[in-house]
């Protein structure tokens, strides 16, 4: 699929319009899944919504011929937030209010973070003149001035003081490494935003982020490690999928085990508990530790 549609709307515009609400669906289901007070049946419904959203995302990416290379997170520099004895101050620039809300909510369990928000270039400039942020999350697709144009203008006015700039987009085709380098940005985060990827970026740019900034909270009671395990072929397939971050495929694999091998329900619940928080690395580490 390429070129223009009969209404003279570009393929890029159509895909962006489809991905924007899908970003909201997948982002909010992540946030709601972390609610410890959520009844089990509601959590099950959320997981179904998540799976449907992930499947739809895959179809959109296939339909619009998105690049196969996963650019969900990418680092362009080794910079660190400097002089942050006080809070780390983050500016979120995105014309969609719920996108700004999701970033703040995903980081709500961390201490010593303050936020400013802007919906466009002019608002971002006004905010920066008042208080220079340590980190800027900048959406690429915005009306009037896009994210790159906004960054170029801010840099031309020398308004920033070694701030870390992270570009965001729901369309993987907007990832142009040359443009990122020319714009002197420090990172890239692809939407739908995954909480684990967002935190990984902050760990990259904020020294001792996980240790110094995580809030004290009472987590869900962890399930005991299962005693009964499926055969080695299932574990190998789970390992492969977890290494790819394949949420939908892992969920389907667990559903198959529920249907065909109910004696491994403890194993299924253990994996699903990690899957709810997109803890793919933890799944990989756990499987490897058993060998």
pLDDT (tens digit per residue) in 234-283: 999 999 998 887 877 898 899 889 888 878 988 998 998 888 777 888 89
Give me the pLDDT at residue 12, please. 62
C-alpha 247/C-alpha 50 separation (Å) is: 9
Is 232 strand, coil or helix? helix
Stretch 82-111: mean pLDDT, rounded? 86
Least confident interval from 87-96, 193-202, 211-220: 211-220
CB 277 within 8 A of CB 266: no
Paired sense of beta strands 88-93 and 113-118, if any: parallel
Task: Give me the residue label for tokens 């403890």.
Answer: 266
pLDDT tens for each residue of 23-40: 888 888 888 877 767 787
Give me the pLDDT at residue 119, please. 93
Q: Where are the alpha helices (DSSP H) in 139-264?
A: 147-156, 177-182, 195-205, 209-213, 232-244, 247-260
The DSSP letter of residue 84 is -
CB 190 within 8 A of CB 23: no
Give me the pLDDT at residue 8, please. 44
Q: Name residues whose C-beta falls within 8 Å of residue 226's C-beta, 6 or more positions apart in sequence.
A: 264, 266, 267, 269, 270
Is 57 strand, coil or helix? helix
pLDDT tens for each residue of 114-137: 999 999 999 999 999 988 999 999
CB 74 within 8 A of CB 178: no
pLDDT tens for each residue of 183-195: 788 988 888 888 8
């Amino acid at each position: 699929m390429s070129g223009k549609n009969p209404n003279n709307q570009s393929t890029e515009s159509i895909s962006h319009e489809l991905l924007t609400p899908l970003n909201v669906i997948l982002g909010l289901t992540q946030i709601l899944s972390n609610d410890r007070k959520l009844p089990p049946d509601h959590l099950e419904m959320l997981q179904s919504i998540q799976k449907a959203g992930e499947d739809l995302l895959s179809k959109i990416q296939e339909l619009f011929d998105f690049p196969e290379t996963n650019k969900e997170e990418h680092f362009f520099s080794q910079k660190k937030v400097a002089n942050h004895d006080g809070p780390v101050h983050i500016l979120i620039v995105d014309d969609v209010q719920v996108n700004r809300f999701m970033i703040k909510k995903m980081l709500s369990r961390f201490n010593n973070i303050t936020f400013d928000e802007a919906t466009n270039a002019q608002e971002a400039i006004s905010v920066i003149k008042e208080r220079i942020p340590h980190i800027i999350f900048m959406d690429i697709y915005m009306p009037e001035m896009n994210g790159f144009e906004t960054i170029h203008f801010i840099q031309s006015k020398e308004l920033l003081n070694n701030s870390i700039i992270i570009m965001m987009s729901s369309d993987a085709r907007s990832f142009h490494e040359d443009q990122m380098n020319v714009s002197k940005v420090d990172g890239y985060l692809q939407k739908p935003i995954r909480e684990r990827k967002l935190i990984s970026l902050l760990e990259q740019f904020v020294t001792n982020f996980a240790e110094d900034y995580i809030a004290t909270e009472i987590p869900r009671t962890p399930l005991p490690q299962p005693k009964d395990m499926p055969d080695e072929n299932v574990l190998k397939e789970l390992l492969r999928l977890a290494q790819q971050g394949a949420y939908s495929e892992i969920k389907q694999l667990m559903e198959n085990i529920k249907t065909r091998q109910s004696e491994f329900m403890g194993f299924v619940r253990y994996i699903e508990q990690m899957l709810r928080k997109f803890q793919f690395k933890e799944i990989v580490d756990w499987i490897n530790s058993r060998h």
